[in-house]
């Protein structure tokens, strides 16, 4: 399938610690393991023209992956609206980590998407809540990450259609760290881990979740719903 | 409780048929039966200054009722954002009929909120789907409306938190006509009936639903969630 | 995949009208189109020894399809419990039409599963409510059936995890006619149509839904969850 | 309202540690604070005749609270079925702690209700997930319990209608510790804390949750749904 990995790509330019972990950027790391899984992967970043996006590119994208953090506000509303329209038309969207505060995620959720957070090398353990879900295929009872940024409840999102993971944090918090939504004819998955200063996207189980997720996110070959004025399908009686 | 009834109030100015049914406007009709039920009801309309809204008024409103149709685009984004913020902070919102296409409803849903429609004097029968819900208190198996505008599926909304009513239409369609959502600390109820050329808001059972709904929508006295950077609640081990 | 079609197979013995429509039984008709779709299909019926079931057969079944009506009470509790256990362990279950009152469906739902009904040649129109769902792949806005038994709300089931279809009936009722559930590691789909005196299972679109459904119901290759007493994963402090 | 507190009341007879914490039994402790809140509270225990239950008592009960652990199997099926029927008819049910394995909870859920567990003085922190819910009224971001039994995911329940609390445990696990369901015309709330060797039901915030819960659980004055054979509401055309 055609996957587009969008990355803000600013931390990688500023922070040697980040560029050491992700020499080709977070987008490059994600591209690598998805390409290896047989997908056709393109990347785009904030500072490219039109943030690396085009109508043509979006139209042929089956699943868009989104990572942003420092510069959500710099993403132009025009492109946020185009991405939203494509989701409603059936493109899958995987929102990663600090993407919880991206314009596109907030627009699709309708809430603040706010949360508690801390950068303190918390251990994180992501427990599987829904063992029927294709997204957890191949995992055991949980994924353990030695060090991650903490995100804590309350997470201001609509109640997920499906709750897939809940995280335990060493510092005492919990978080709904894997949540699915349907919007229009498209599907959305929010997946929490992936702070830029940790090698989270090199973790085999995190990669497994992302690989499962893109398969689940790919639009089903259903027909586009139709809308607007309609003639009756049955005879309507005349009324006084 | 403090209820604010917002109405576009344009049909009433243009169409004698509408002003005959609702001589004091749709907002006036709703105000009447809610006042009689003991509530403190204020009204606001599109063409007033700031659409009749103010920070003070919104801040003291427990439940906002919204009816709009012809002029959704004329509602200023600034006020849509203020209403959204108040919902997230705990104000209840009852969206009526053609309000499905209002900026505020689309903003809270994240979808197009599109649907099929027809103005042809369809009979409508709203079946109760959730007999545990306070919103259906006092009703029988269904509400019957002799003539209404038809709205048909697919209705492009997120899956409701609770599905309360499903409508049957004479012309052959069905519609999720009563749907609840939680957004932030606030609650939202979408209730379908109420085309301006029919006396729907004079119907006793429709009034009963609206009276039940404002009670359900009123914010619970829960604390406002807190967000942002947090110290750990437990000791975090030092890691290599 | 391995599919087991279970049918009560009593109407077929008693009513010439039914055996004319389904000369090889409802189970035979379903077996035919699923076999043609490439599946390995077995059938079992009430009056066989152990209702045609065995531990071995259940253990190798990926998806079980269940049609019953007159004789739900004759299904032995022992086998109902075995089927329930297999669903919890990951076997998919497709419950058809009057199977809403089967012991296995009531056991998995926890409710009465009661409803309104009428045999009067109602026209039925099943509207697609969830256009993202693989189960509706290939369909238009609705499926139309010229004559069917009516089932009407209130349908006493838990709120579905996903609502896929809502039916319109000529006589004035609506019904949640396609509903998914997860139970344990298994998935369940209830699909309404299929009264024995109508050729519903010969309808191409109904067959399409059933073919889509078995694919969706097949268990994901996730690990079986583990339960019971557990050592701590972290050091627990001594307390006074 | 009329509340019935049912308790197995075996630990209290066997273990001095338990009878020291709850000299009048767990049921007595719960009765006390609910009586103080103005309710009419009755208690019943396993070893009374008919487990302390009667048709008359159940019929006049608005909300039933259930605590059991050692002797779930000794509860007679006849009474489990009567309690289930009362829930479907509109009685609220609050299932506490080890009641997750009670016959009545498993019957209403349709799943094994299994989980991971440990008795090791874990600290527990119950985080509020749904700040709109009347059940959390008056609470802050979480409830902290110094020592409790651990229950860990995967918890084999259907996806809750509403997820109200998620627990963090010192030993590394998480748990969906507050979950609501609707069954028939009745409501169910599962609330995790309350191991018999800890003074959990003396905790002010735990009492607050239970007091909020009974109010939420009390049946709404909706009409009982009707079921069975129905005449058409509209004319059904004759068909060939």
Assigned token pair, A92 = 């899958």
- The number of beta carbons lying within 10 Å of the beta carbon of residue C196 is 26
More confident residue, B28 or D239: B28
The residue with tokens 């609050």 is D94
Nearest to B239 among A116, A147, A231 (CB): A147
Chain B closest-CA separation from residue D206 CA (Å): 15
Determine contact, residues C234/C62, Cβ cutoff 8 Å. Answer: no
D-contacting chains (≥3 CB pairs under 8 Å): A, B, C
Per-residue pLDDT reduced to its tens digit, A123-132:
999 999 999 9
Assigned token pair, B181 = 């959502």
> At B220, is the pLDDT very low, low, confident or very high (cuts 50, 70, 90)?
confident
Q: pLDDT at position A99, please?
A: 98
Structural domains of chain D ordered from first start: 2-111+176-217 (3.40.50.880)
Q: pLDDT at position B198, please?
A: 98
- Interchain CB contact of C134 with B (< 8 Å): no
What residues have CB less than 8 Å from C162, skipping those under 6 apart? A161, B159, C130, C133, C179, C180
Nearest to D220 among B134, B186, B222 (CB): B134
Size of interface C-D (CB pairs under 8 A): 136
Assigned token pair, C189 = 């789909």
Assigned token pair, C72 = 């739900």
Determine contact, residues B126/B165, Cβ cutoff 8 Å. Answer: yes
Is the confidence at residue C20, as pLDDT, over 90?
yes
Assigned token pair, D12 = 């209290």
Phi and psi at residue D142, to the nearest 5°: -160, 165
CA angle B212, B217, B220 (to 5 degrees): 120
- The number of beta carbons lying within 10 Å of the beta carbon of residue A230 is 18
Range of weakest confidence among A197-201, B32-36, B222-226: B222-226
Per-residue pLDDT reduced to its tens digit, B73-90:
999 999 999 999 999 999
The residue with tokens 């609770």 is B162
Assigned token pair, C74 = 């004759």
CA angle C217, A164, D176 (to 5 degrees): 115
Determine contact, residues B202/B210, Cβ cutoff 8 Å. Answer: no
Average pLDDT estimate for A151-170: 98
> At D239, is the pLDDT very low, low, confident or very high (cuts 50, 70, 90)?
confident
Question: How are beta strands D186-191 and D92-96 bridged, if at all?
Answer: parallel
Is the confidence at residue A239, as pLDDT, over 90?
no
Choose the mutation target among C129, C158, C233 for the interface with B, i.e. most B CBs under 10 Å. C129
CA distance B93 to B86: 9
> At A221, is the pLDDT very low, low, confident or very high (cuts 50, 70, 90)?
confident
C-contacting chains (≥3 CB pairs under 8 Å): A, B, D
Residue whose C-alpha is closest to residue C119's, from C151, C144, C95, C87: C151
> At B223, is the pLDDT very low, low, confident or very high (cuts 50, 70, 90)?
confident
Average pLDDT estimate for A52-76: 98
Per-residue pLDDT reduced to its tens digit, A48-62:
999 999 999 999 999
Interface of A with C in 57-116 (CB under 8 A): 90
CA distance D103 to D71: 10
CA distance A230 to B151: 10
Assigned token pair, D106 = 């498993």
Average pLDDT estimate for B89-113: 98
Assigned token pair, A103 = 């314009």
Question: How are beta strands A228-229 and A174-183 bridged, if at all?
Answer: unpaired
Average pLDDT estimate for A30-41: 98
Assigned token pair, C35 = 């076999």
Q: pLDDT at position D221, please?
A: 73
Average pLDDT estimate for C24-39: 98
Assigned token pair, D102 = 């009670």
Phi and psi at residue A102, to the nearest 5°: -70, 155
Per-residue pLDDT reduced to its tens digit, B187-217:
999 999 999 999 999 999 999 999 999 999 9
CA distance B225 to D142: 10
DSSP-derived 3-state class of residue B80: helix
CA distance A203 to B186: 38
Chain A closest-CA separation from residue C210 CA (Å): 15
Is the confidence at residue B240, as pLDDT, over 90?
no
What residues have CB less than 8 Å from A183, skipping those under 6 apart? A87, A88, A108, B110, B111, B158
Q: Check CB contact under 8 Å for B153 and C141.
A: yes
Q: pLDDT at position C31, please?
A: 98
Choose the mutation target among D227, D239, D240 for the interface with C, i.e. most C CBs under 10 Å. D227
| Average pLDDT taken over every residue of chain B | 97
Residue whose C-alpha is closest to residue C154's, from B166, B153, D221, D218: B166
Is the confidence at residue B169, as pLDDT, over 90?
yes
CA distance B79 to C97: 49
DSSP class of residue B111 equals S
Is the confidence at residue A28, as pLDDT, over 90?
yes
Determine contact, residues D68/D105, Cβ cutoff 8 Å. Answer: no
CA distance D199 to D145: 10
Is the confidence at residue D220, as pLDDT, over 80?
no
Per-residue pLDDT reduced to its tens digit, C82-135:
999 999 999 999 999 999 999 999 999 999 999 999 999 999 999 999 999 999
Cα radius of gyration rounded to whole Å, chain A:
19
Q: Check CB contact under 8 Å for A128 and C224.
A: no
Average pLDDT estimate for C183-188: 96
Range of weakest confidence among B112-116, B236-240, D56-60: B236-240
Determine contact, residues B6/B58, Cβ cutoff 8 Å. Answer: no
- Interchain CB contact of B172 with C (< 8 Å): yes
Average pLDDT estimate for D110-138: 97
CA angle C35, C87, A176 (to 5 degrees): 115
Please state the separation of Cα B238 from the chain's center in Å: 52
Q: pLDDT at position A222, please?
A: 72
- For the purposes of burial, counting CB atoms within 10 Å of the CB of A149, is it exposed (0-12), middle (13-18) or buried (19 or more)? buried
CA distance B24 to B32: 10
Assigned token pair, A66 = 């989104």
Residues of A in contact with D169 (CB under 8 A): 168
Range of weakest confidence among C154-158, D151-155, D231-235: D231-235
Q: Check CB contact under 8 Å for B112 and A147.
A: no
DSSP class of residue B178 equals E
| Average pLDDT taken over every residue of chain A | 97
Nearest to D232 among C107, C118, C225 (CB): C118
Is the confidence at residue D219, as pLDDT, over 90?
no
Per-residue pLDDT reduced to its tens digit, C197-235:
999 999 999 999 999 999 999 987 777 899 999 999 999
Assigned token pair, A12 = 């990688």
Per-residue pLDDT reduced to its tens digit, C2-16:
999 999 999 999 999
Q: Check CB contact under 8 Å for B130 and C159.
A: yes
Please state the separation of Cα B78 from the chain's center in Å: 20
Average pLDDT estimate for C165-173: 98
CA distance B138 to D210: 27
H-only helix segments in chain A = 11-14, 16-21, 25-36, 55-59, 77-88, 103-109, 204-217
Prediction ipTM score: 0.96
Residues of C in contact with B159 (CB under 8 A): 130, 162-163
Q: pLDDT at position C80, please?
A: 98
Residue whose C-alpha is closest to residue A145's, from A170, A128, A164: A170
Question: How are beta strands B116-128 and B92-96 bridged, if at all?
Answer: unpaired
Per-residue pLDDT reduced to its tens digit, D2-21:
999 999 999 999 999 999 99
- The number of beta carbons lying within 10 Å of the beta carbon of residue B120 is 16
Per-residue pLDDT reduced to its tens digit, C49-87:
999 999 999 999 999 999 999 999 999 999 999 999 999
> At D186, is the pLDDT very low, low, confident or very high (cuts 50, 70, 90)?
very high
- Interchain CB contact of C139 with B (< 8 Å): no
CA distance A239 to D100: 56
- Interchain CB contact of C118 with D (< 8 Å): yes
A-contacting chains (≥3 CB pairs under 8 Å): B, C, D
Task: Classify the phi-psi angles of D99: left when phi > 0, otherwise alpha if psi is within -120 to 50, otherwise beta.
Answer: alpha
């Amino acid at each position: 399938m055609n996957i587009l990995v969008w990355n803000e790509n600013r931390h990688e330019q500023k922070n040697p610690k980040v560029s050491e972990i992700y020499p080709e950027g977070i987008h490059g790391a994600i591209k690598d393991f998805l390409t290896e899984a047989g997908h056709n992967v393109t990347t785009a970043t904030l500072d490219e023209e039109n943030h690396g996006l085009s109508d043509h590119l979006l139209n042929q994208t089956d699943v868009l992956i989104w990572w942003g953090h420092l510069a959500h506000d710099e993403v132009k509303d025009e492109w946020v609206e185009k991405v939203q329209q494509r989701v409603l038309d059936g493109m899958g969207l995987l929102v990663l980590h600090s993407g919880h505060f991206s314009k596109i995620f907030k627009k699709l959720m309708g809430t603040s998407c706010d949360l508690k957070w801390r950068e303190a090398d918390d251990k994180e353990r992501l427990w599987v809540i829904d063992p029927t879900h294709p997204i957890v295929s191949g995992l055991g009872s949980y994924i353990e990450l030695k060090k991650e940024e903490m995100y804590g409840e309350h997470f201001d999102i609509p109640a997920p259609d499906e709750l897939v993971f809940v995280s335990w944090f060493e510092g005492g918090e919990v978080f709904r760290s894997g949540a699915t939504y349907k919007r229009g004819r498209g599907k959305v998955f929010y997946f929490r881990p992936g702070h830029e200063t940790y090698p989270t996207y090199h973790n085999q189980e995190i990669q497994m979740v992302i690989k499962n997720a893109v398969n689940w996110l790919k639009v089903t070959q259903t027909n586009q719903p139709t809308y607007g004025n309609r003639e009756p399908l049955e005879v309507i009686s005349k009324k006084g």
